[in-house]
Structure 1
């Protein structure tokens, strides 16, 4: 249920309404929009009469029920106002959101060694990326595949941030690792395999760093949004949704099926920012550029693209990784054109000596 306050409502009256609703056993959450303040009500509202709430103040414009099962994640909860996730980085704040420039996240699947991760960070930064991705802990289908270097790789990510000024995004797989990863990462990633690891969702929801929530490979949109609801309900409002391809009946030519139709669908359902991962979505480097361009044309807020200095020797996901040279070409000659046409591109000085 949401309470929409009238334009110009005094702050003291908004606080009074919130305090009174708390005495009813509800949890009010104030959302400040461009023109109005909306108060989201969490709790047992099924038996409440909206008129009963409206009568508590002449400054209440209307009271509406949120029909979706994902309350906080729903567009209704914010009365149509889109949320913006602002992430502090060494080079300044970066904003994820529909009215912001497309945020590019790039880097290797796994952190392999210091030279490799620092080199990649500097090159993707020069090409226009704002964040470095790199796995310290890697979930793998086979127990014999490279699982990442673990805690020692976090130090290498910190070194890459110092060298490049990029923000860091890396995956957390275990509740026991959340605090130490949050000390290094600017954004915590929940991978597709952990989308419904509810203990982990609650844990990252109880800390302050933004969360990058990837869609499970067989998850419905409602299941994905309910996973986001776990994080939001635990107290963390900064969630970015990432489509990374879903598993269907035909995987002969692509690793997954990249569901770009999810962008307009999510726009109608949720206020949360939307990212697309064309690398996992296709599994083949030659398909990544076209799907990245298509994602921007569909109005995605962010792209996550795998880049490795030598994909043929990558310890994981080499076939879907671009070289730094191909990434720079993609950024400056292809994505920039589409992004500018969409009004979503921020010019970045590019070093040609990569």
Structure 2
């Protein structure tokens, strides 16, 4: 249930309502907005509890909602979530550009890409140090050495870094280096991992699973918020359909406006994994910005044909810079900046 406090309710009155909610056996999450405080009562919605709470003078109204993805919903928080990572605002008026190679392959090559994407207009550096690969014989990442290289790139460029956590065992070490922790598509429903990440004071980007519905994706994010982490980014990265000849996945652009209507969380789009081919990345990036995406994750490599991971979907730095130039007009049209 969602309990909307009267705009004039003071701290003492809010605590009194929280005490009453707990007396019915509910957990509580508080959200303080510009104009009012909203309390999320965690548990099965009950009409008798709704009536009891609405009888309190400091309560404006109570909304009975399904507890499936209550905390990520617009009912719980009308204002869109925005927060800063370093000097970069996520969920604000600027479309955030995240760029870099699929994997950190070595110090020299990564630093070269990092400097190139910064020059091209990137706000955040991406790169994989721990790589979940379909084949056990594929490149699995440099692990901590890769994280150290990314940290060096951050020091040189001044850009925050985002990288993927593979499992619960790698949470501590990834959190030590990363500014944003990424949960990959394969781990979207790793609930133990999500619960642990929810207890960190670190932003988390959660990619949509390749076969996940929008509701399942939002419920995965609910694990993070219900565990205490409010700085969560949703990322559409393509879903698996019957089309496998011309694209790697099918990028669900329609998910962007749908999720932004359902949830207050920022929504990013990954057109690289969404298509699997670099030539479609600029078009899908334009479409994502037009649809309202708050950010893009784009794979960039100086020599894609030599890449150890996802070379066919990686832009070269020159193409990345050209794409950014073409995005400016679309961003301006929808009231955003780059």
Stretch moving more, 227-236 or 65-74? 65-74
Deviations 1:198-242 (A, max 9, x none): 111111112111111001111111111111111112211111111
Contact kept, 8 Å, 1:87 with 1:186, in 2: the verdict is no
Gap change, CA 1:303 and 1:31, over 3 Å in 2: same
- Number of aligned residue pairs: 338
- 1:350 paired residue number: none
- 2:71 paired residue number: 72
- 1:280 paired residue number: 273
Alignment pair present for 1:202 and 2:200:
no
- 1:342 paired residue number: 334
For the residues of structure 2 that align with 1:324 and 1:126, how far apart are their CA atoms? 9
1:217 to 206, 210, 217: 210
Q: What is the CA distance between 1:21 and its match in structure 2? A: 2.6
Deviations 1:296-334 (A, max 9, x none): 000101100001111111111111101111111111x20
| Structure 1 residues 8-87: aligned runs within 5 Å | 8-46=8-46, 48-56=48-56, 58-67=57-66, 69-78=68-77, 80-84=78-82, 86-87=83-84
Long gaps (5+) in structure 2: none
- 1:352 paired residue number: none
Alignment pair present for 1:116 and 2:106:
no
Deviations 1:127-158 (A, max 9, x none): 22111000001111111111111111111011
- 1:95 paired residue number: 89
Contact kept, 8 Å, 1:66 with 1:77, in 2: the verdict is no
Extract structure 1 runs of 4+ deviating beyond 4 A.
none
Contact kept, 8 Å, 1:30 with 1:39, in 2: the verdict is yes
Q: What is the CA distance between 1:49 and its match in structure 2? A: 2.8
Long gaps (5+) in structure 1: 347-354
Q: What is the CA distance between 1:68 and its match in structure 2? A: 5.5
Q: Partner of 1:76: helix, strand, or coil?
A: coil
- 1:262 paired residue number: 255
Q: Partner of 2:285: helix, strand, or coil?
A: helix
Contact kept, 8 Å, 1:87 with 1:210, in 2: the verdict is no
Contact kept, 8 Å, 2:127 with 2:162, in 1: the verdict is yes
For the residues of structure 2 that align with 1:20 and 1:29, how far apart are their CA atoms? 14
